[in-house]
Each structure stands twice: as structure tokens, then as C-alpha cells.
Chain A
Amino acid sequence: MKYRVLYFASLRDRAGMDVEQVESFATDARGLYSELRARHGFTMGEERLRVAVNGAFAQWAQTLHEGDEVVFLPPVSGG
């Protein structure tokens, strides 16, 4: 399936891009992150991140669908 993955903060620096079209066999956010972590060498484990799908917070086990926008959110630091 194809997903649109957005990167922010330290993940953006590590991936070297802010958005990526990903073709993957992963069917949930956990599987997709595991694949991308291996590809880009992300050091943060999923316990440090939150997930958003199509602009809303989601669960790691949430089933993904063709064309979903997926974001792995590093610890936030606004303010």
C-alpha cells in the first residue's frame, strides 16, 4: 500500500526530508514505523513517539488504508 509520511523535528533531520511517499506491506502504524526506522536509522523507539493518521492522534495498532497520511510525532516542545 502507499502512504504519505510526514516528518518533523529530529525525525525530519534524520530522514533528510519532510515528506515521503512510502510503498509498504505494513498494515498498521507500528509496522510502518518499524520499517521506516530501519530504513532511516531513527533512534527513537515507539515508546517515545505518538502517532497521527490523517490529522488525528491514533493508536500504534490502528489499521492503515491506501493513501493515509501518517505522522510519527517526537516529544513536543512548544511554548
Chain B
Amino acid sequence: MGVFHISAEPIDAAALARSLAHARAGACVTFEGWVRDHNDGRAVHRLDYQAYAPLAQSEGERIIKEAGEKFAIVEACCVHRVGSLAIGDLAVWVGVSSAHRGAAFDACRYIIDEVKLRVPIWKNEHYAGGESGWLHPDNTPVV
């Protein structure tokens, strides 16, 4: 149970969702994080994500494992993009299946929240006007 990947290629959400199917699962909750065209009052043109891949992988796997210990889930998966992304692109995908919906909602929320806090991935926003900036987990600029 449990898969975590850092991907330089576009995420195939439909294929990932199918991988959560199981005879014991009666609920599936998925979360998609998309690149939006604004942050903190500024127009955003595109994003670049960097990751420290070996540690991102092990920390991501640890989060999925924790979700399995905290919540009664069947399958869980998270994939996070790296590289250059355009507005509307899928940046992160989380999916959880479980016997009943409560555990799937709770585990999905846990995984995305912990990934944003703990996994060594960095977002660089490119703004209208050519400036760019690295962000903190709460989307405030790193200064």
C-alpha cells in the first residue's frame, strides 16, 4: 500500500485513480493541485519546481506510510511534478481509497498538508514583468 513519486513528466490522474481500486474500497478521494495565475496579489506566468529527489522520495514515502498508520485506508498515492509548469498544469496529485469515506478524506488532507510542510520541493514563481521569487510553505516570499 502506498506510492510516492517525483515526476518530470505530466501526471496521468486517471491512471493513478484507477490504481487505487480495490474490492475492499468503497470510497476514493483525490486532490489536485493546479498552477494558478496569481499569488499574493501578483500575476503569475509560470512556475518552476525543484526537488532534492532522494530526500523528497524518502520523506514522501514516510508520509504515505504515516497516513496508512493513522487512517483506515486501502490504497494511497501521491505524485508531485518538478520542472517548468504552465498555468492550469497539474502540479501535485493525491489519491486515497478506503472502505468508508471518512478515512479517505482525512488521509488525503493529511498527505497534501504534510507534503507541503516537509518534502524538499521548491516553487519558483515567474511574474508578469519578468521577476521571479521563491516561496515559503504559506506562499509568502523568501527574502
Binding site for B on A (CB under 8 A): 6, 8-10, 12-13, 43-44, 52, 55-57, 71, 73-79
Asked if A55 meets B58 with Cβ closer than 8 Å, knowing A8-B120, A76-B120, A78-B123, the reply is yes
Which of B15-23, B47-55, B101-109 contacts the other chain?
B47-55
| Least Cβ–Cβ distance between A78 and chain B, in angstroms | 3
| Interface residues on chain B, number (Cβ under 8 Å) | 30
Q: How far is the CA of A8 from the CA of B54 in the complex (A)?
A: 13
In the bound complex, do residue B50 and residue A71 qualify as a contact, i.e. CB atoms below 8 Å apart? no
Q: What's the nearest-Cβ distance from chain B to residue A29, in Å?
A: 14
CB within 8 Å for A76 and B134 given contacts A8-B122, A9-B122, A52-B55 = no
Known: A78-B119, A78-B123, A79-B115. A56 touches B136 (CB 8 A): no
Contact of A78 with B49 in the complex, beta carbons under 8 Å: yes
The smallest C-beta distance from A7 to any residue of chain B, in angstroms, reads 10
A16 to chain B, nearest CB (A): 15
Q: List residues of B (12-63) whose CB comes within 8 Å of A's CBs.
A: 33, 49-52, 54-55, 58-59
26 sample A-B contacts, Cβ–Cβ < 8 Å, listed by A number: A6-B52, A8-B122, A9-B124, A9-B134, A44-B142, A52-B52, A55-B54, A56-B58, A57-B55, A74-B134, A75-B136, A75-B142, A76-B117, A76-B118, A77-B116, A77-B122, A77-B123, A77-B142, A78-B51, A78-B116, A78-B119, A78-B121, A78-B122, A78-B123, A79-B121, A79-B123
Chain B residues within an 8 Å CB radius of A74: 122, 134, 142
B83 within 8 A of A: no
Residue of chain B at shortest CB distance from A44: B142
- Other-chain residue from B92, B120, B123, B139 in contact with A73 (beta carbon distance below 8 A): B120
